[in-house]
Structure 1
Amino acid sequence: MTVGERLKELRNKKDLSQQELSNRIGIRRATYARYETDANQADYETLLKLAAFFNVTTDYILTGKSQLEYKHYDPELLQLIKDPEVHTAFKEIPGSNEQVKDELLDILRFLKYKERYRDSEDKGEK
């Protein structure tokens, strides 16, 4: 199932039209429609709004899996967090270390997904 198909399924479960959902999260209907057709992908802020609105994780929207389904974090992402510069920035963020780590990993997963999507577009895939 694609990201767009998951978004459509989540919207239909709430029995909302694209216009109603768009109004609630503050974007144009045409923009949201392109997310559902996988013509465009949501930026990080919109992805967070959608996840909060649907009460799911960004992981679920992007991959169809909830964070609880991951037995281990992605080793590449954990290695990035261990980078001294990233580690220092992480320590400066107020809040629960576990909560901040989870949010940071969500951001990194999104960036990794976005790069893969960009690569597939460059190769003419999708």
Structure 2
Amino acid sequence: MSFGERLKYLRENRELTQRALANLIKIGYSTLAMYETNKRQPDFDILNKLASFFDVTTDYLLERTNDSKPLTEKDKIITLKSSKEASPQNLKLLEIARKLEKLPPEKRKALETLFGVDEQNTDKNS
């Protein structure tokens, strides 16, 4: 499975559109589409964001291993701190996003709607 195929698999497993994931990690929708079709490769910062967001290792994303085991807490901290956008506020937002992703779909959808980030609003704002 190529990098793009793994990225698409992880995104679809979280029931996210390309546009929604692109907004969450602050890249362009077309950039994400190019990653998923292997027409472009992410830089280190984006690769770290993707690994942190999906709770996998960069080795898994880069096809160095088929083990998609989640990062340890120590690895998560190292990955997040190495990110260019590792302000305390951004780290807190990533933590909240991770917790939201673990909620059942109906509860997650209710919170997204409450905060105005439901699928329809996300697509309109892009």
TM-score for the superposition, normalised by structure 2: 0.52
How big is the alpha-carbon RMSD for the aligned residues of Structure 1 and Structure 2? 2.2
* CA spacing shift, 1:4–1:67, aligned 2, 3 Å: closer
**Which whole-Å deviations, capped at 9, do the CAs of 1:23-74 have from their partners, x for residues lacking one?**
0000000001000000000101000000000000000001143388xxxxxx
Distance of 2:56 and 2:3 partners within structure 1: 13
Distance of 1:10 and 1:25 partners within structure 2: 14
Q: Give the structure, 1 or 2, with the largest relative contact order (CA under 8 Å, sep 6 or more).
A: 2
SS state of the match for residue 34, structure 1?
helix
Larger radius of gyration: 1
Q: Which residue of 2 aligns with 1:77?
A: none
Identity of aligned residues (%): 46
- What amino acid is the match of 1:51? A
Superposed, which structure 2 residues align to 1:99-114 within 5 Å? none
Whose helix proportion is higher, 1 or 2?
1
- What amino acid is the match of 1:41? Q
TM-score for the superposition, normalised by structure 1: 0.52
Q: Which runs of 5+ in 1 are unaligned?
A: 69-97, 104-126
Q: Which residue of 1 aligns with 2:41?
A: 41
Q: Which runs of 5+ in 2 are unaligned?
A: 80-126
Q: Which runs of 4+ in 1 moved over 4 A?
A: none
Q: Which residue of 2 aligns with 1:24?
A: 24
Distance of 1:66 and 1:10 partners within structure 2: 13
SS state of the match for residue 50, structure 2?
helix
Superposed, which structure 2 residues align to 1:83-98 within 5 Å? none
Any conservation in 1 of the 2:56–2:68 contact (CA below 8 Å)? no
**Alignment size in residue pairs:** 72
* CA spacing shift, 1:13–1:67, aligned 2, 3 Å: closer
Distance of 1:67 and 1:12 partners within structure 2: 15
**Which whole-Å deviations, capped at 9, do the CAs of 1:59-96 have from their partners, x for residues lacking one?**
0001143388xxxxxxxxxxxxxxxxxxxxxxxxxxxx
